[in-house]
């Protein structure tokens, strides 16, 4: 590791995933068109569908979202059919239980086939298999500055890390400069203390002269 910032990046990615930004998307097709012109950027979408009768958030991610945002399967498997779900480990549900979720204004009975751990509390309580219908969408990227993309991003991840190569180099330089400044301050303080100590000892060893009357 070349800097403390890179060490922090590595630790955060292990714990929270690779994502950096969260963008509330109001026009999914326009966003996808803009993103099609970007390069060297990884991004994924999380789709919000509804709330179940207990006001638990329900949605699904695209392929790669769960690894990217570190939504980790701890038991069972991810849903494969329309009547299957996985639930967050914050709740006491068990695999094989059945719950009811309102999808497209219809109450549907769903079977729990897995349990996941969310790396961040902003993620969902219940995940379903990919659906055509969704109410809202969120965009996650590993880079804050997106070349060729007109919309702005809002930083919702305090543990994020920008993968833009220019910013990575900038962060590394800044981190090294900060360390050098800190080291210089410590050395200056040590020199001041040492000089003060030496001057004190020299003054103590000087002969005491009594002025003649």
**What is the residue extent of each domain of the chain?**
19-162
Q: Report DSSP letters for the chain, one per residue.
A: --SHHHHHHHHHHHHH-S--EEEEES-HHHHHHHHTT--S--EEEEEEEEE-TT--EEEEE-TTHHHHTT-EEEEE----STTEEEEETTS---TT-EEEEEETTEEEEEEEEEEEE-SSTTS-SEEES--S--SEEEEEES-SS-TT--S--B---TT-----HHHHHHHHHHHHHHHHHHHHHHHHHHHHHHHHHHHHHHHHHSPP-PPP-
Residue-level pLDDT at 150: 46
The pLDDT tens digits along the chain (213 residues) read 556 667 877 888 888 888 877 777 777 777 777 777 777 788 899 999 866 666 789 999 999 999 999 999 999 999 999 899 999 999 989 999 998 887 767 788 999 999 999 998 889 999 999 888 888 888 888 887 555 554 455 555 667 777 766 655 555 565 666 667 877 888 888 888 877 777 777 666 656 555 555
């Amino acid at each position: 590791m070349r800097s403390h910032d890179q060490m922090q990046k590595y630790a955060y990615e292990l714990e929270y995933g690779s994502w950096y930004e969260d963008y509330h998307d109001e026009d999914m097709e326009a966003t996808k068109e803009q993103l099609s012109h970007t390069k060297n950027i990884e991004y994924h979408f999380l789709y919000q569908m509804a709330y179940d009768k207990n006001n638990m958030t329900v949605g699904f991610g695209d392929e790669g979202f769960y690894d990217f945002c570190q939504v980790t399967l701890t038991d069972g498997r991810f849903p494969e059919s329309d009547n299957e779900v996985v639930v967050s480990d914050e709740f006491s549900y068990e695999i094989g239980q059945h719950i009811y979720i309102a999808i497209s204004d219809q109450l549907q009975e769903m079977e729990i086939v897995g349990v996941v751990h969310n790396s961040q509390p902003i993620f969902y309580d219940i995940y379903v298999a990919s659906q055509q219908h969704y109410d809202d969408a969120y965009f996650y990227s590993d880079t804050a500055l997106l070349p060729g993309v007109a919309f702005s991003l809002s930083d919702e991840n305090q543990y994020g890390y920008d993968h833009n190569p220019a910013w990575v180099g900038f962060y590394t330089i800044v981190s090294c400069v900060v360390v050098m400044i800190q080291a210089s301050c410590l050395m200056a303080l040590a020199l001041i203390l040492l000089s003060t100590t030496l001057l004190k000892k020299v003054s103590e060893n000087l002969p005491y002269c009594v002025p003649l009357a």
